Amino acid sequence: MLVKIPAVLDKTQVERARGIMEAAQWTDGNVTAGYQSSKNKNNLQLPENSQEAQTLGNQVLEALANNNAFMSAALPLKIFPPLFNCYQNGHSFGVHVDNAIRRVPGTPVKVRTDISMTLFFSEPDEYDGGELVIEDTYGSHSVKLAAGDMVLYPSTSLHRVLPVTRGRRLASFFWLQSMVSSDEKRALLYDLDMSIQSLRAKVNDSPEIIQLTGVYHNLLRQWAQT
């Protein structure tokens, strides 16, 4: 399931974050790549232990904690601290699958990557190229979103970032372990939850909506690992 979540950050938050990014020291993006990905990754990254990455990462996590669409789509159990990258001057990232397990630096915590996320900090008209291309069973999806918007996709997907041929593409990228590891089951729960919420907005509470809400929670009870 590929889900786009608009306005995770508003434009003021994006501007403030970009101010921090512009002033930061960037390093080679290969520091977080696995062996297979390091061969075709070519970009810049904020060092993950830098003050800037931590401040920005906490802002992203705080925004996500208050985002109902994200919570419903991801059902997060553990979230890897957000990382930040920059593509410019022809930078690209060739086709790869993200590592299955990530250890949170400086801790014993391991995160199984069920969902990969990209949160955009540059507007689409600020750069050429830089599309995130995600393959799934329905084909190839090219994603380039407004600053502040985010995409979630299964970490099992092959994906790549096309070369940035003009301007600068700033983004945050990270992973999470979901309470529901199966993408198929998560997609069913998300569809059910979205339908219930939209029904509730139309007809307020009814015995059927209460019943359906019960079905949602009883499925979640069967499928969730905590």
Query: Which residues are near Ni ion by CB under 5 A?
Result: 98
Q: Least distance from C-beta 2 to Ni ion, angstroms? A: 14
- Of the pair 121, 153, the CB lying nearest Ni ion is at 153
Distance CA 78, CA 25 (A): 28
Contact 21, 170 (CB under 8 A): yes
- Of the pair 48, 98, the CB lying nearest Ni ion is at 98
Q: Compute the C-alpha angle 2/47/83, nearest 5°.
A: 15
- Of the pair 98, 149, the CB lying nearest Ni ion is at 98
- Return the residue nearest Ni ion (CB atom): 98
Distance CA 56, CA 68 (A): 21
- Of the pair 51, 140, the CB lying nearest Ni ion is at 140
Q: Least distance from C-beta 98 to Ni ion, angstroms? A: 4
Q: Least distance from C-beta 19 to Ni ion, angstroms? A: 26
Q: Least distance from C-beta 46 to Ni ion, angstroms? A: 16
Write the DSSP string, 60-126. Answer: HHHHHHT-HHHHHHH-EEEEPPPEEEEEETT-EEEEE---SEEEPTTSS-EEE-SEEEEEE-S-GGG
